[in-house]
Structure 1
């Protein structure tokens, strides 16, 4: 059986502007996590579900609007009501930059006040969310002016999302949810994050958690659906993905992320994210230009 928790890179946009999807499809457990080279805004109209965003888990409900940056691992991981209706928007950075103005930066909702990329969960009244999205659910015809009207409706939605994100004194990022892990697993996860660049053998992690490696492995499999070794590698790769655009060279970061072999790091990165480190650097810097090439 394939590992559905291994993230994959997907980019299915057919244009360089935006796309709108309306879905009622039941979410099967075990959907693969994935990433894009464009923004995604996931809006819940009805029902509830658990949504994975990077290293966080969000319990979505009607009115939830999740703002997801390019390159961030995400997906719905569990539907918790019989019906789950959602609309998701895929938007290229280039399009938002083209329609923004000096006074109205439509990418602002994807960043902190200091300009650091961040993911958010917004809460809207369901009626207000319908009012925002309903005009976008009808694909434009080939009639004169319809494409521009559809584009204007998307811009109106982005203005509303940004206004909502900026409504508070501070623009708040997505909170870490209180996932009910056992004390042993929570302690192990914290230890791994704090020592990610070091030698993290299973015996050392188990000893820190005052347990044995067999019990720890069973706990990880039950609560996280993976092994401690696989969890460690995933966290190392997530860290490498964050550091790579900052430092610009895989050779500068692979040891910082706990990899002893450069070739093993390169191979693991490609398997995890579906692209080489060079390809990742290219699209993270100029995603729209790369897509048009």
Structure 2
């Protein structure tokens, strides 16, 4: 008789911390005329496994090509969308995973190509899809365990580092996303509903976490950015106060003047006089 016996070590460095990464969703998609390619974000990580065709991913500031056997991991709060090549329709399976992030540059996104382990990962993904479609009792547990198997395969890739994302760090990223959006659009008429939809969180939760992070509300931060910009316009241009108020998106001159005095302690015209005389 021949046999093989192996000891399973408990100190394997690849083992993920328990009760952290959690499967939220799984979906399959292939390019069609109804493909929605608008930039969007999620409050959880997304893992895209390209199983066929070719396409590209568009982030806020860059775009890159993808093909079969590519993996793209998008961290929570990162603006992105998927695009397909019409001659080679892209097909992918995507996992939504909570409490997980990939070590990435400032883009919050990592692309990796599978040279080994791809077939095993895809088998797990298709089994997850089958479990969800059938909806048999216990399918949630099977999908969660299959996620853990997939993550272990990913940890074997030399260029991937996965970590657990704590709840406060996710809130911080959501607030950072909103803050950066305000920085880019502070002249526009932004609403709490619009900002909360951007971060995919409740608007009351947004106000609470944003105030905790930056000691101000999102709308107050927007006003402070407008006043900051107005200081530059008051000193470096000859625009009158009504023009500056209109440029910065204030609904009226009086609202601009009240906001400026509240934050700066003096009127806009007095600020212009003081700083122009100091510059001479």
Greater CA radius of gyration, 1 or 2? 2
